[in-house]
Amino acid sequence: MALGTTDRQLWWSAWKALISARITLWFGSFDRVRRRLQLADDGRGGEVDQSRRVARAVDAVGDAWPGLGNCLVKAVAAVSLLRRHELPGSLCIGVARSAGGGFEAHAWVECGGEILLGGDDLDRFTQLEMVGGRSVISKR
């Protein structure tokens, strides 16, 4: 597939953001990552379209490279790129009980109430919210 210069640059940026997110999550604390990625998500019209493009690029590149397709890595990379370009978007984390009685977690990216990345089967997950620096469960 032939990509224009802008798309090639976006895909290259997505790849670098995914590598950076993977390394950061291996060696850094998630709390530090979360604080660094907090964004205002006001869902401004034209900018939401740009946020969608960034999320699609991160999703596609993450799926193409082994080890980078994890939902948390992709969500952190996408929000990192959104922040770098001053675009709206929010990192969301949710938890659910698995069929075997254990627990599962999932990460996704939202913008203006729209799911940009990681939106599969979200009805099962209860979103975690940050209140006073601590994660608490809230209704989604």
Residues in the chain: 140
Structure tokens at 121: 């089967």
- From the CB of residue 42, how many other CB atoms can be counted at a distance below 10 Å? 10
The predicted-structure confidence for 85-97, as pLDDT tens digits, reads as follows 888 888 888 999 8
Name the burial class of residue 85, with classes exposed (0-12), middle (13-18) and buried (19+) by CB atoms within 10 angstroms of its CB: middle
CA–CA dist 31, 139 (Å, integer): 21
Q: What pLDDT, in 10s, does the model give residues 96-110?
A: 988 888 989 999 999
Is residue 52 within 8 Å of 41, Cβ to Cβ?
A: no
Domain that holds residue 77: 5-137
Q: What is the pLDDT of residues 35-57, one digit of tens each?
A: 777 655 555 656 888 899 999 99
Residues paired with 135 in a beta bridge: 130
Report the number of distinct structural domains present in the chain. 1
